[in-house]
Amino acid sequence: MDYLSRLSSSYFCLLLIFITGFGWSNVAAIGINYGQIANNLPSPDEVVPLVKSIGATKVKLYDADPRVLRAFANTGVEIMVGLGNEYMSKMQDPKQAQAWIKSNVQPYLPATKITCIFVGNEVLTFNDTSLTDNLLPAMQSVHTALQNLGLDKQVTVTTTHSLAVLEKSYPPSAGAFRSDLAPCLSPILSFQSKTGSPFLINAYPYFAYKDNPKQVQLDFVLFQPNQGVVDPSTGLHYDNMLFMQIDAVYSALASLGYNKLPVHISETGWPSKGDQDEAGATPENAKKYNGNLIKLVSQSTKKGTPMRPNSDLNIYVFALFNENMKPGPTSERNYGLFKPDGTPAYSLGLATTASDGVISNSSSSGVNGGAPPLPPSTASSSSTGYLSISSATSPNQETYRFLGASLWLLVVLVMGVLKF
C-alpha cells in the first residue's frame, strides 16, 4: 500500500475509534491547541487530516507558522494565530504591526481562514510592568493595521489570560477580577467590546485536583456524575468545575460593565502522564476529562453554562500532540491527545487500535515550528513557544502559584458546600 493510501486508511481508522470511543461525531464548537515544542512532530500537511478526524473546526497556534497556514488553506478550519510576549514592545509601532500583518496574515487570506490574532499570552499575571503597559497599545496597533489593510471585519484582535486574573471565583455569581488589575483591564475590555473580540481565558481544573487530591472530588472535575454544587445567590446548579470557572469570569466581566463580552476557553486539558507528585495525571483521567468535555460541548440541548445557557461554548482543548521538548515536570510533555506518530496518546477503551506509524515523523524547522519573523531590522530571537502550564520555569512561578491559590480558594469553598 502506498503512503497516501496508508495515511488515508489510518485516518479513517482513527476517525472510527474517536467517534465510537468518545462520541465525537458532532463537535462543531471544539478547537484544538496546536503547539510545536518538539523535534519529532509530523509536517503540517500530515496534521490537517488528523485535526479533521477528531471533528475540530478551530485551531489555535502560538505563532504564525507559514507552513501551518499554507497546510490549512481551503480546509474551512478557523485559525487563531499568536504574537508572543516578546513582540509587545515592537507591535506598539503601527508601521511594524502593519508590516507583520502584511507578511504573516494577509498573504494567506482568504484561502486560510484566519479569524483571530491573540497578542500576548497571560501578560497581566506576569507582574511585569513593561509587558502590561505594552499590551493594549500593541493590540490597538495590530487592529489599526488590520483596518488599514481592510481585514478588520474578518480578523479580530484579543489576548489570553490566566485564571489568576480573578480575585474571587466562588460562588460563580460573585466572580471578580483582581483589584490591582482593574486599571489595565478596563481599557482592554473597552477595546474588545468596541472591536467585537472574545475574552480568552486559560482554565485548568486539573490543577485543583493535583494540589488537593484528597479534598477535591475527582468526579466534579472530570465531568462525571456527582451531586454538584449550588450557587447560593442564584440557585444555579453546577456539576463540574470548569463551568463554574467560566461563569465566574462572566460575573467578573459583568461587574465591570461588560456582560455582553463573549468568553472563550483558549486552553483547557488534562495530562495523561506525570511525575510521582502529580496526582491524577493518568490516561484514564485524561480520557474522561477531554472526552466528557467534548461530549458536553457537542450536545445540541446544552450549549452553554448554567449562567449563560444560550451562549455557545467555544473551547480549545490543550493540546494536539505530546511535545517532547517542553521543560518542566513530566505532565508538561503529556497533554496531547496524540503521540507524534498520530496514534492516540492513551487508550480509548476499545479493543481495536490504530495501526502503528500513522504519521511519519519529520523534524520541525524550529523548536516552536518557526515563530513569525519581525519586520526587517527589528528581528529578535524567536519565541521558545507558549508558556508552560505549570510553574516549572521561573517566569511563570509567581503566576501559577497565584493560580493555585485562586483555585484552592474555590476548592475549599466548594468542598465546604459539598460537606467533604
Torsion of CA 43, 46, 48, 51, to 10 degrees: -100
* Amino acid (one-letter) located at 154: Q
The answer to whether the peptide bond before residue 171 is cis (omega within 30 degrees of 0) is yes
Question: Residue length, the chain?
Answer: 420
122 noted as active-site residue: yes
Which cell numbers in the block locate residue 65? Answer: 507558522
The span from the CA of 4 to the CA of 13, in Å, is 14
Using CA atoms, how far residue 162 sits from 4, 166, 175, in Å, is 41, 9, 14
* Residue 378 to residue 101: CA distance in whole angstroms: 14
On the CB side of 40, CA atoms within 13 Å amount to: 13
Given the residues 122, 278, 323, 332, select the one marked as catalytic.
122
Other C-beta atoms closer than 10 Å to the C-beta of 76 total 8
Q: Whose CA is closest to 320, among 72, 145, 125?
A: 72
How far lies 176's CA from each of 5, 241, 253, 267, in Å?
Answer: 53, 17, 8, 20
201 close to 160: Cβ distance less than 8 angstroms: yes
- Which is catalytic among the residues 46, 78, 86, 267? 267
267 given a catalytic annotation:
yes
In 185-281, DSSP assigns E strands to 199-202, 229-230, 237-238, 263-268
Cα–Cα distances (Å) from 274 to 224, 328, 392, 394, in that order, read: 22, 11, 13, 20
Q: Three-state DSSP class for 379?
A: coil
β-strand partners of 338: 321, 344
Q: What are phi and psi of 279, to 5 degrees?
A: -60, 140
Which residue reads 523548536 in cell numbers? Answer: 367
Active site residues: 122, 267
